[in-house]
Amino acid sequence: MSIDRLRAHYGFTRMPFSKDLAPGMLHSHSAHAEAVARMSWCIAEQAIGVISGECGAGKTVAARAAVASLDASRHTVLYLGTPGVGLRGVYTTIITGLGGVPRFHHAALIPQAQELLAAETEERGKRVLVIIDEAHLLDAESLEGVRCLSNMGMDQAAPFCLLLLGQPTLRRRLRQATFTALDQRIAVRYAINGLDQAETTSYVKHHLALAGRSDNLFSDDAIDLIHATSRGLPRLINNLAVASLVAAFASNKAVVDEATARVAVAEVSAE
The correct pick among 234, 242, 248, 249 for binding ligand ATP (CB under 6 A) is 234
Q: Which of Mg ion, ligand ATP, none is residue 16 near (CB under 5 to 8 Å by kind)? A: none
CB of 89 to Mg ion, least distance (A): 18
CB 213 within 8 A of CB 12: yes
Question: Which one, 112 or 167, has the nearer CB to Mg ion?
Answer: 167
Q: Of the ranges 3-11, 208-216, 224-232, 234-242, which one interacts with ligand ATP (CB under 6 A)?
A: 234-242
5 binds ligand ATP, rule: CB under 6 A:
no
Rounded to 5 degrees, φ, ψ at 139 are -80, 175
Please give the residues from 82 up to 121 whose contact with Mg ion meets the rule CB under 5 A. none
CB of 102 to ligand ATP, least distance (A): 27
Q: Of the ranges 57-65, 89-97, 173-181, 231-239, which one interacts with Mg ion (CB under 5 A)?
A: 57-65
Question: Which one, 35 or 148, has the nearer CB to ligand ATP?
Answer: 35
59 binds ligand ATP, rule: CB under 6 A:
yes
Residue 39 CB neighbours (<10 A): 26
Question: Which one, 60 or 244, has the nearer CB to ligand ATP?
Answer: 60
| Binding characters for ligand ATP, 24-53, by CB under 6 A (x = yes) | --xx----x--------------------x
Please give the residues from 59 up to 78 whose contact with Mg ion meets the rule CB under 5 A. 59-60
Q: Which of Mg ion, ligand ATP, none is residue 240 near (CB under 5 to 8 Å by kind)? A: none
Question: Which one, 117 or 143, has the nearer CB to ligand ATP?
Answer: 143
Q: How far apart are CA 271 and CA 253, in angstroms?
A: 24
- Annotate the chain with DSSP letters as a single string: --HHHHHHHHT-SS-SS-S---GGG----HHHHHHHHHHHHHHHHT-EEEEEE-TTSSHHHHHHHHHHTS-GGGEEEEEE-S--SHHHHHHHHHHHHTT----SSHHHHHHHHHHHHHHHHHTT--EEEEEETTGGG--HHHHHHHHHHHT-STTSPPSEEEEEEE-THHHHHHTSGGGHHHHHTEEEEEEEPPP-HHHHHHHHHHHHHHTT--S--B-HHHHHHHHHHHTT-HHHHHHHHHHHHHHHHHTT-SSB-HHHHHHHHHHHHH-
| Binding characters for ligand ATP, 155-194, by CB under 6 A (x = yes) | ------------x---------------------------
Q: How far apart are the first and last CA of the chain?
A: 19
Binding site for ligand ATP (CB under 6 A): 19, 21, 26-27, 32, 53, 55-61, 167, 234-235, 238
Binding site for Mg ion (CB under 5 A): 59-60
